[in-house]
Amino acid sequence: MKPDPANDNPKPCQICGKPSAEKYRPFCSARCADVDLHRWLGGRYAIPAVETDEPDDETILPDDGNASGDD
């Protein structure tokens, strides 16, 4: 069986720059994986979003004052 050419030159760890390890890919170690997780949970990484003034659901019904939901 031929070795996988993708494993011959692994991409560097996104945290420290060392070669990534198969077990922790795309990181080199559990420590770097944990550092990345901490950054996500701490809000250091964010996905940009565009805020709009329009409601997400166009089927919002006007409030008729009946809080019980019975008609």
Looking at per-residue pLDDT, the higher value among 46 and 63 belongs to 46
Which residues form the domain of 27? 10-41
Residue stretches of the annotated binding site for Zn(2+): 13, 16, 28, 32
Residue 4 has pLDDT above 60, yes or no: no
What is the per-residue pLDDT for 55?
A: 65
**28 lies in a domain?**
yes
pLDDT per residue as tens digits for the range 6-59: 556 679 999 999 999 999 999 999 999 999 999 999 999 888 888 877 766 666
pLDDT for the residue 23 = 95
Look at residue 36 and tell me if it is in a domain.
Answer: yes
| Residue 26 within any structural domain of the chain | yes
Q: Residue 55: helix, strand or coil by DSSP?
A: coil
Q: What whole-number distance in Å separates Cα of residue 68 and Cα of residue 42?
A: 40
* Domain presence at residue 16: yes
Q: What span, in angstroms and rounded, lies between the C-alpha atoms of 25 and 36? A: 12
Give the model's pLDDT for residue 50: 86
Between CA 68 and CA 71 the distance in angstroms is 9
Tally of domains within the chain:
1
Task: Quote the pLDDT of residue 49.
Answer: 86
Binding-site residue positions: 13, 16, 28, 32
